[in-house]
Structure 1
Amino acid sequence: MGISELQLPTTVKAHQLNDARALSATLAADVADRLRAAIAAKGQACLVLSGGRSPVPFLEKLATEALDWSKVTVSLADERWVPVEHADSNAGLLARHLFQGGAAKARFVGLYQQTENLDAAAAKADQALADLPAIDVLVLGMGDDGHTASLFPDSPNLAEGLDLNSKRRCLPLLAPSVPHQRLSLTRSLLASAAFIALSVQGPGKLATLRAALAGNDLNEMPIRAFLHDPLDIYWCP
């Protein structure tokens, strides 16, 4: 049983790793290689990461990679609308697990904005993202419900979030079963990345991928928006 059993589109490359440690190390090495290549080609690189618990070993491994972090801009695919000090902040997660040692020299473009409401926060984040360089590497995760970033099924702004022609870079999104309001990069910005990796672990996520590949309704499973574009999936049992 593994990712090789799935009927993947020809644009999708699968990497099956033995365990979470191997996945973290392989993904970190591949991401660092692409950042180094971008720096060599144009003098800078841009990396967009996802939060949550599972990326922690990957982030810590990436922090040890030898590259000129002072030339790397880092941002987030999504963020909970909570201050950086909050335990659920993705910016706080990066501060604790990535921006250490040499990686502390990276430039960070955060999404959280202290405003009166979520719509205003998303508008301010949208403005901040205007300065984001072209994305060289995007690392996505996926929930059991088929969400990615904070593009959740049936969220009120999901249609605009999934619109490839949307001019918005960031939108306010709601997670139906999770308490925090969210800020999410839109598909139009996420899909512009030169290299997109999807990191998933375990048989449950394999089943979610199988279900996502079996249908076409993006509103039902937003991850479907990325499964027919060039994509590298990193999976371990």
Structure 2
Amino acid sequence: MAISDLKLPEGVTAHSFKNPAVLAEGLAIKVAGQLNDAIQAQGTATLVVSGGRSPVAFFQSLIKQPLDWSKVVVSLADERWVPVEHADSNAGLLKKHLLMGPAAKARFVGLYNVAANLEDAAEQADRALAELPPIDVLILGMGDDGHTASLFPNSPNLAEALTLDNPRRCWPMLAPTVPHQRLSMSRSLLASAKNKVLSISGQGKLNTLNDALGGTDIAALPIRAFLQPTLEIYWCP
């Protein structure tokens, strides 16, 4: 199956690249342009990214683009509830691969905080996100199970987190993989982004995306919530 074989909803576009390095560079050029447009229009720009290892090449390409990082706010679609120094921390990943050099001037709004429990941490993150400017660019990833951000199938708070009219911005979520405890932006906050990209690689994830396009049960494959007009899909083998 090729990405051109997918039956995409009207308004959803797909871009295919020959390898991860070419995808990362193409996405970085596109995102830098969108952020520069936002800065020119309103004086600032807000970028929300996903963690994990997949976006590292994109981060490394993005910091090479011409951009006034002092006017950029960066945040995370989701976070593992571990200290920034932990190897699994998404914030730690950003500090190592994105918020460095010129990009160190960006303002970072993180989700992790030291709290008594995951619910308290999510409530504190929700208050912090109240100060986040409107999202100009959102970069989502997707797992083989159809999760995006940390909106995992069968997580206890999934139904509430997927509700569009719920004003809450951050939810405590449980992942099937270690570390289990996660913090995730809500569907409503993620969906509010002006520009949305789903970046994936590999045949397995293309198969998952095809499955998602063939049904309507959002709880089973949460990525379905974002397969909406204006989404751009970036894929490579």
TM-score by length of 1: 0.99
Q: Which residue of structure 1 lines up, in the alignment, with residue 153 of structure 2?
A: 153
State the shift of 1:176 in Å: 2.2
Q: Which residue of structure 1 lines up, in the alignment, with residue 8 of structure 2?
A: 8
- 1:170 equivalent to 2:170? Answer yes
State the shift of 1:150 in Å: 0.1
Three-state SS of the structure 1 residue aligned to 2:27 is helix
Superposed CA deviations along residues 86-113 of structure 1, whole A, max 9, x for unmatched, are 0000000000000111001000000001
State the shift of 1:2 in Å: 1.8
State the shift of 1:229 in Å: 3.5
In structure 2, distance between residues paired with 1:107 and 1:59: 16
In structure 2, distance between residues paired with 1:205 and 1:74: 26
Q: Name the % identity.
A: 65
State the shift of 1:230 in Å: 2.0
State the shift of 1:180 in Å: 2.7
Letter in 2 for 1:105: K
Letter in 1 for 2:24: S
Q: Which residue of structure 2 lines up, in the alignment, with residue 35 of structure 1?
A: 35
Three-state SS of the structure 2 residue aligned to 1:131 is coil
Q: Which residue of structure 2 lines up, in the alignment, with residue 67 of structure 1?
A: 67
CA RMSD of aligned residues (A): 0.7
State the shift of 1:134 in Å: 0.4
Q: Which residue of structure 1 lines up, in the alignment, with residue 94 of structure 2?
A: 94
The number of residue pairs the alignment matches comes to: 237
State the shift of 1:48 in Å: 0.2
Moved more, 53-62 or 1-10: 1-10
In structure 2, distance between residues paired with 1:54 and 1:75: 17
Runs of 4+ in 1 over 2 A off after TM superposition: 176-180
In structure 2, distance between residues paired with 1:38 and 1:175: 34
List aligned pairs for 1:196-215, cutoff 5 A.
196-215=196-215
In structure 1, distance between residues paired with 2:108 and 2:229: 27
In structure 2, distance between residues paired with 1:79 and 1:24: 22
In structure 2, distance between residues paired with 1:179 and 1:140: 20
Superposed CA deviations along residues 127-184 of structure 1, whole A, max 9, x for unmatched, are 0001100000000000000000000001000001100111100000001233330000
List aligned pairs for 1:223-234, cutoff 5 A.
223-234=223-234
Superposed CA deviations along residues 184-220 of structure 1, whole A, max 9, x for unmatched, are 0000000000000000001001100010001100110
In structure 2, distance between residues paired with 1:133 and 1:104: 19
Gaps of 5+ in 2: none
In structure 1, distance between residues paired with 2:208 and 2:82: 28
In structure 1, distance between residues paired with 2:11 and 2:86: 38
In structure 2, distance between residues paired with 1:159 and 1:65: 38
Letter in 2 for 1:236: C
Q: Which residue of structure 1 lines up, in the alignment, with residue 140 of structure 2?
A: 140
TM-score by length of 2: 0.99
State the shift of 1:4 in Å: 0.7
Q: Which residue of structure 2 lines up, in the alignment, with residue 186 of structure 1?
A: 186
Q: Which residue of structure 1 lines up, in the alignment, with residue 127 of structure 2?
A: 127
Three-state SS of the structure 2 residue aligned to 1:52 is coil
Q: Which residue of structure 2 lines up, in the alignment, with residue 218 of structure 1?
A: 218
The answer as to whether partners of 2:153 and 2:222 remain within 8 angstroms in 1 is yes
The answer as to whether partners of 2:10 and 2:229 remain within 8 angstroms in 1 is no
Q: Which residue of structure 2 lines up, in the alignment, with residue 117 of structure 1?
A: 117
